[in-house]
Structure 1
Amino acid sequence: MSASPVIHLIGAPTDIGAADRGASMGPEALRVAGIDRALRAQGLTVLDTGNLIGPHNPWQPPACGYRHLPEVIAWNTAVHQAVGDALRAQALPILLGGDHCLAIGSLSAVAQHCRAQGRKLRVLWLDAHADFNTHTVTPTGNLHGMPVACLCGKGPQALTTLGGPAPQLQPSCIRQIGIRSVDAEEKRLVHQAGLDVFDMRYIDEYGMRDAMRRALEGVDADTHLHVSFDVDFLDPDIAPGVGTTVPGGPTYREAQLCMEMIADTGLLASLDVVELNPAFDERNRTAEVAVDLIESLFGKSTLMRR
């Protein structure tokens, strides 16, 4: 990846995997909040590729433990192709979601690209939830609670093999940060998989700095760094515009430190921004906070010392 790749903004306006309607409006809310302008302010070249097209949300109950599975497959197939195209063009894709099930398509493309390039992959999963449910333990059937499990090979074959033979990711390449809501059976699966989780208790006890230092250990110039940023990672006091708010998340300053430490590596190579739901927001406040943090991911810093 070049020092300053072209940014490809890829809109995926769907709430197909979510518990509530409204995340389909997320890409436009981020555009209204000035994501293009904020990235250009960091000296980056930005190409907004527009929105992907996929099936509408039929709003049906789960079938065999999955809700809207055919539609989720269709949307993730489109995301996989678009993110893969951006990476092959040596661009840096930013997926504007949409709900978090879309990370299956995004990260399948990233993992496929890393295998083809012979590069290591590190995934930072910024989220209130572990997203490691399966159809046998999910309380809802909503696929936005299953992307990490699917990427690790636990899910329907059409999703687990989207970028090649399953699994797309090894648990050892994933670091989850900010977790504070995990279903009981899901917790068992997370422990079984051996995921590295820096939950909110860890952050309370040791601080965001230590969590990020450990999450970034081993990242080097041969590492593709992917950030999957679920906006419900943030505390609802600063980010109310999500469908699944969980109190007790990172503060604004903790989130800024997280983003700045990622930026300090200079290795960010792909990004998801998901679960922004303007239907629950206050005058686009959450989108503006998200854009501010994304700007920090790309180099805006509060650093005053030399």
Structure 2
Amino acid sequence: MTSRITGRDTAPAPVWTGRVDGPGADHRRWHNAVNAESPDSPGLALIGFRSDEGVRRNGGRPGAADGPAAIRRALASKALGADLVVHDAGDVNVVDGDLETGHENLAAAVRSLVRAGHLPIVLGGGHETAYGSYRGLASSGVLDGRRLGILNLDAHFDLRQADRATSGTPFRQIADLEQGRGATFTYAVVGISESSNTTALVRTAADLNVAFRTDEESQERHLDDVLDFVARFADQVDVLHLTLDLDVMPASAAPGVSAPAALGVPPTVVIEICQAVAESGKLGLFDVVELNPAYDRDHATAALAARIVHTVSVGAFRARRRARG
């Protein structure tokens, strides 16, 4: 079905329902706001990427294809300011394990959203999502003459070299494409687990000049240093692609992920980072990935993902409004 937002063939957006306290803007929640405006009204645009094929290829536990629906359900009843414009462009489905076609379709959808003036928020899906998201942004024209920075909140570098795309390869693939378009690959990671990344991956990160902080260096007591790291990275670039792998947070807070973390970065630190990036005025793309509802407990991971999407959405919308004067 052709999406009224992207003009592309995507599975239709679900019907949003949720808590109703009363009529009018004072009682507005996400389910009231989604698709309430004309598709031509610039705003935030959600799009799901229903894929866990990359996780399967990477030897992880499947189930992330159900992540977009779970995040939408957790968002639906969150309170929302009266002026936030939110569209839902539906889902890109990966059919019969054909991740490559899925990436093409996601890239086309994201490209359409960016060209229409929307901020795409991509709901994964495994972390293979980030490759399709990036391709859409890179082919949209907004990066012409501008430097892109990719900030990944993740326990893993995801810089593996492989014969085909997996959830462990997206940023190596992006590095190759950035080189191909004559750009500098500018990539930073917060939350790296030293026990989850081989020496070969650390060496690859060094070869690609990747800046990173480990999970041990990203606890609440390090918040000022972490935010300084993020600010210095943002200062180097013109456009930011923020990508959040929910496995960056501890399993006690985010159990419903493809690869639970033993230590992780506290949710409070993750939210502070996301808010800083959203309010920087440079955010051009956000994806949140690796929610695996089959392993969630009391929908805790979905609720946390929704809270972060809400934080990014509000901060980014305010920054865009300030920029327009």
The alignment's TM-score, normalised by the length of structure 2, stands at 0.75
Deviations 1:112-148 (A, max 9, x none): 3356543222211111110011128xxxx87101111
Structure 2 residue matching 1:26: 3-state secondary structure: helix
**Of residues 175, 194, 200 in structure 2, which corresponds to 1:152?**
175
In the TM superposition, 1:8-157 aligns within 5 A as 8-18=45-55, 19-34=60-75, 38=78, 40-41=80-81, 43-57=83-97, 71-113=98-140, 117-135=144-162, 143-153=166-176
Structure 1: any 5+ residue segments left out of the alignment?
Answer: 58-70, 154-159, 301-306
1:21 Cα deviation from its structure 2 partner = 1.4
In the alignment, structure 1 residue 225 sits paired with structure 2 residue 248: no
In the alignment, which residue of structure 1 is the partner of 2:188?
175
8 Å contact 1:39–1:298 — kept in the other structure? no
Distance 1:174 1:270 in 2: 14
Distance 2:80 2:284 in 1: 17
Q: 1:220 to 1:38 in 2, by over 3 A?
A: farther
Q: Which residue of 2 aligns with 1:291?
A: 306
Greater Cα offset, 96-105 or 118-127: 118-127
Gaps of 5+ in 2: 1-40, 316-325
1:6 corresponding residue in structure 2: 43
Report the Cα distance in structure 1 between the residues aligned to 2:117 and 2:271, rounded to whole angstroms.
27
Q: Which moved more, 1:18-27 or 1:194-203?
A: 194-203
Give deviations 1:265-287, integer Å, cap 9, x for gaps: 23322111111000110122101
Task: Find the counterpart in structure 2 of residue 207 from structure 1.
Answer: 222
CA contact (8 A) 1:111 1:169 kept: no
Cα–Cα, structure 1 residues 21 and 142, in superposed 2: closer, same or farther, change >3 Å? farther
Number of aligned residues: 269
Greater shift in the superposed pair: 141-150 or 276-285: 141-150
Q: Distance in 2 between matches of 1:271 and 1:16?
A: 21
2:202 maps to amino acid? K
Deviations 1:195-242 (A, max 9, x none): 111222332597133223222226369822221111111111111000
Do the aligned residues in 1 keep the contact of 2:188 with 2:233 (CA within 8 Å)? no
Identity of aligned residues (%): 28
Q: Supply the AA of the counterpart residue of 1:166.
A: G
Instruction: State the distance in 2 between where 1:120 and 1:151 align.
Output: 14
Inter-partner Cα distance in structure 2 for 1:292 and 1:252: 10
Distance 1:128 1:277, change over 3 A: same
Indicate if the aligned counterparts of 1:9 and 1:95 stay in contact, CA closer than 8 A.
yes
Contact 2:220-2:269 within 8 A present in 1 as well: no
Distance in 1 of aligned mates of 2:222 and 2:82: 28
- The superposition leaves residues 70-119 of structure 1 with CA deviations (integer Å, 9 ceiling, x where unpaired) of x2211111111111110010111011111111211111222333565432
* Residue 272 (str. 1) matches residue 287 (str. 2): yes
C-alpha offsets along residues 157-193 of structure 1, whole Å, 9 cap, x if unaligned?
Answer: xxx5xxx87368633x211111112123212211121
Residues 30 and 268 from structure 1, CA distance in 2 versus in 1: closer, same or farther, beyond 3 angstroms? same
Indicate the structure whose relative CO is greater, using CA pairs within 8 Å and at least 6 residues apart. 1
